[in-house]
Amino acid sequence: LHRPAWSYVSEYPTHLLNRARVHIGDDSRMSAFVSKLARGVPVKIAWIGGSVSLAGGSPRPDQIWVNQFHKWLELTFTPCGDSATASPTLHQEHSTTYLHRGQSCAASTIQLYQLSVFAAMPQFLEACRLYKVPADVDLVVMDTAANDVLVEPLVHSLMRAALERMMRY
């Protein structure tokens, strides 16, 4: 299996790209997710966050950065990108198909569950949104940092405890 997007070569040298990757702990779950993407196996992504994840200041829903990321995954790892007329970075400026279907094309194998809530703190997300994550989801992205530190120090806070519980869920 090969997709046109996979022939893209970054202008950045490999040593700089390697410095941009950071993770702590076991990467087996992420490796399994990426392997499924590369093989064209259907995947599900749940996104939990606040206002940045939900709107991000964009006037059009298909330009929210979470949706841009979802479209990029579709154009890179599904047949949606095989005939895409996009830039080398596979960025779609505007897509009426995405607005109506929630996917770039009918052949997409990547499903996004948008569970974000405006002005949500980790405690609310843990109590009211986490239970909505499907049991068979392949990747959960938590994006909560924008509002967190403004209320109290993060080191010994209820927010940190809520984030840690969600990470272990």
Contact (Cβ atoms closer than 8 angstroms) between residue 126 and residue 165:
yes
Kindly report the backbone phi and psi dihedral angles of residue 107, in degrees, each rounded to the nearest multiple of 5, phi listed first: -85, 5
Q: Which amino acid is at 2?
A: H
User: In a 3-state reduction of DSSP, which class is residue 73?
Assistant: helix
Closest by Cα among 139, 140, 144 to 159: 144
Residue 37's pLDDT is what?
A: 92
3-state secondary structure of 122: helix
- Give the Cα separation of 63 and 65 in Å (integer): 6
For residue 44, pLDDT over 90 is answered with yes
Q: Round to whole Å and give the CA distance between 78 and 38.
A: 9
Domain residue limits, the chain: 26-168
Q: How far apart are CA 61 and CA 71, in angstroms?
A: 12
Q: What percentage of residues in the chain have a pLDDT greater than 70?
A: 76
Predicted confidence at residue 152, as pLDDT, reads: 56
Q: State the Cα–Cα distance between residues 17 and 39, nearest whole angstrom.
A: 24
Convert the pLDDT of each residue in 75-102 to its tens digit: 888 888 776 554 455 555 666 777 777 7
Contacts (Cβ under 8 Å, ≥6 apart) of 157: 151
Average pLDDT for the chain: 77
Is the CATH number 3.40.50 carried by domain 26-168?
yes
| pLDDT interval class at 24 (50, 70, 90) | low
Residue 154 pLDDT > 80, yes or no?
no
Q: Output 148 or 126, whichever has higher pLDDT.
A: 126
